[in-house]
Chain A
Amino acid sequence: AQKITQTQPGMFVQEKEAVTLDCTYDTSDPSYGLFWYKQPSSGEMIFLIYQGSYDQQNATEGRYSLNFQKARKSANLVISASQLGDSAMYFCAMREGSERYSTLTFGKGTMLLVSP
């Protein structure tokens, strides 16, 4: 079974509007972290936001916020006031455990296109 599911292959949004990118995850580990990355066409993976499984409040970083619903195992990324530069692939990822090493598992990504 997939650990990270991103059901939206592509999303379109107009400039200045808000957009939500979906992510659901699957884990039996009570300790995990959830991450969102942005990958422009240049290829670099840019870290956007992090949410820990024990965090009580939803994470926010500027125009990015993470809608964390633990019972539903979802961690949707909300981008407010979209900009043309937000056009990119967006990946949700999860890191489990706290042993010797813990791996980061990525979803397949959502392509976001922002139009003028």
Chain B
Amino acid sequence: ETGVTQTPRHLVMGMTNKKSLKCEQHLGHNAMYWYKQSAKKPLELMFVYSLEERVENNSVPSRFSPECPNSSHLFLHLHTLQPEDSALYLCASSQDSRGRGQTQYFGPGTRLLVL
């Protein structure tokens, strides 16, 4: 595997379900990110991790719970979601979380539908 991978690619869940999104990066990077992309909206940053430490929580509801067990893996735990949480969830990584020149490399995303 190369680059950034995400599983599952598609997910349908009910509002009472609990599920997790997984992201893995094979680039040796130290920073990882979760973004939400809703229809007709710019990408919204949700969480930033640097060396497994959360450095940004962008006012995300508590029904989204991130976990970064090591610098290569990032999870997004989902519980009691709302239909408006349906979106494309993108994971990204960069060498470092600091610096204007840090390019973020994205995974293919998980398309989430909440019924």
Contacts and interface: CB of A to CB of B under 8 A. Distances in A.
Interface of A: 4, 31-33, 35, 37, 42-47, 50, 52-53, 91, 95-109
A104 B33 CA distance: 10
B102 A102 contact: yes
Contact of B106 (A31, A44, A95, A98): A44
Contact of B103 (A35, A42, A100, A107): A35
B74 to A, nearest CB: 15
A31 B102 CA distance: 12
A97 B97 CA distance: 11
Contact of A50 (B98, B101, B106, B108): B101
A102 B42 contact: no
B109 interface: yes
Interface of B is mostly: loop
A102 B100 contact: yes
B48 A101 contact: yes
Interface string B74-99: 00000000000000101010000111
A112 to B, nearest CB: 17
Given A43-B88, A45-B90, A107-B42, A100 B55 contact: yes
B103 to A, nearest CB: 6
Contact of B102 (A95, A107, A108, A109): A95
Contact of A103 (B40, B41, B56, B106): B56
Contacts of B108: 42-44
Given A43-B109, A43-B111, A44-B106, A95 B100 contact: yes
A91 B33 CA distance: 17
B42 A98 contact: no
A95 B50 CA distance: 16
B92 A45 contact: yes
A47 to B, nearest CB: 6
A100 B56 CA distance: 10
A102 B95 CA distance: 12
Contacts of A50: 101, 103
